[in-house]
């Protein structure tokens, strides 16, 4: 695509919950019912998707979630979750990560999601860019991300890159994001 469409962004809040829920429900709860809970302290309930929905909504109601929603016109088409290491402690390969850890990052980029009808059109880039802007407005600091390697790997049917592709993080690195090989989830 030669240029990204014009997107707008809004924070996930009680006012935008219905837009977020509509997108999640249209995509089978995302990963079969995750509701973007995998990084949160309580983690993912692998048995009950409605528990994940309820837990996410509780975070939204309490104001304990940082998540940018991306809109094409009035339709929510994606998001980027971000937060402090305390807000998003659950990452993959934690033992390997902690082995070389010197200091926790100020912020983490967690889940990035794009609706299948908008993939490859700059939604993730818009989401990450808005998240970095919000992080900067909140004082900035080191931002850790967990992008997935996509070169030489065909997309999995019905799947998406829940932490974004490496090219997205590379283009954001010049804006202040830093990557980590440890993975997330």
**85 has pLDDT over 60:** yes
Query: Considering the domain boundaries, does residue 184 fall inside one?
Result: no
pLDDT at 179: 40
Query: Considering the domain boundaries, does residue 37 fall inside one?
Result: yes
Q: Count how many domains the chain has.
A: 1
Query: Considering the domain boundaries, does residue 25 fall inside one?
Result: yes
Query: Considering the domain boundaries, does residue 69 fall inside one?
Result: yes
**20 has pLDDT over 80:** yes
Instruction: Summarize the confidence of residues 117-133 as an average pLDDT.
Output: 93
What's the rounded Cα separation, in Å, for the pair 5 and 106? 31
Half-sphere exposure of 148 (CA within 13 A, CB side): 21
Query: Considering the domain boundaries, does residue 129 fall inside one?
Result: yes
- Residues of the domain holding 134: 8-179
Query: Considering the domain boundaries, does residue 2 fall inside one?
Result: no
Number of H helices, E strands in the chain: 5, 6
Q: Phi and psi at residue 8, in whole multiples of 5°?
A: -115, 160
The tokens for 152 are 């030489």
Asked if residues 77 and 123 have their Cβ atoms less than 8 Å apart, the reply is yes
pLDDT at 149: 58
**167 has pLDDT over 80:** no
CATH number of the domain within which 100 lies: 3.40.630.30
- pTM score, whole prediction: 0.80
Asked if residues 18 and 165 have their Cβ atoms less than 8 Å apart, the reply is no
Q: Which residue has the tokens 């070389």?
A: 100
């Amino acid at each position: 695509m030669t240029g990204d469409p014009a997107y707008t962004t809004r924070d996930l809040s009680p006012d935008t919950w219905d837009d977020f829920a509509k997108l999640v429900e249209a995509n089978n709860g995302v990963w079969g019912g995750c509701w973007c809970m995998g990084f949160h302290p309580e983690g993912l309930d692998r048995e009950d998707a409605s528990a994940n929905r309820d837990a996410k909504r509780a975070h939204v109601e309490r104001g304990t979630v940082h998540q940018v929603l991306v809109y094409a016109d009035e339709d929510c088409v994606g998001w980027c979750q971000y937060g402090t290491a305390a807000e998003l402690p659950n990452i993959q390969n934690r033992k390997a990560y902690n082995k070389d850890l010197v200091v926790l990052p100020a912020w983490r980029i967690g889940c990035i999601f794009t609706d299948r009808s908008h993939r490859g059109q700059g939604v993730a880039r818009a989401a990450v860019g808005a998240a970095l802007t919000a992080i900067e407005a909140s004082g900035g600091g080191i931002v850790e991300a967990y992008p997935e390697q996509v070169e030489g790997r065909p997309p999995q049917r019905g799947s998406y890159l829940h932490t974004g592709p490496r090219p997205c993080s590379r283009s954001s690195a010049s804006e202040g994001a830093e990557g980590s090989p440890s993975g997330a989830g």
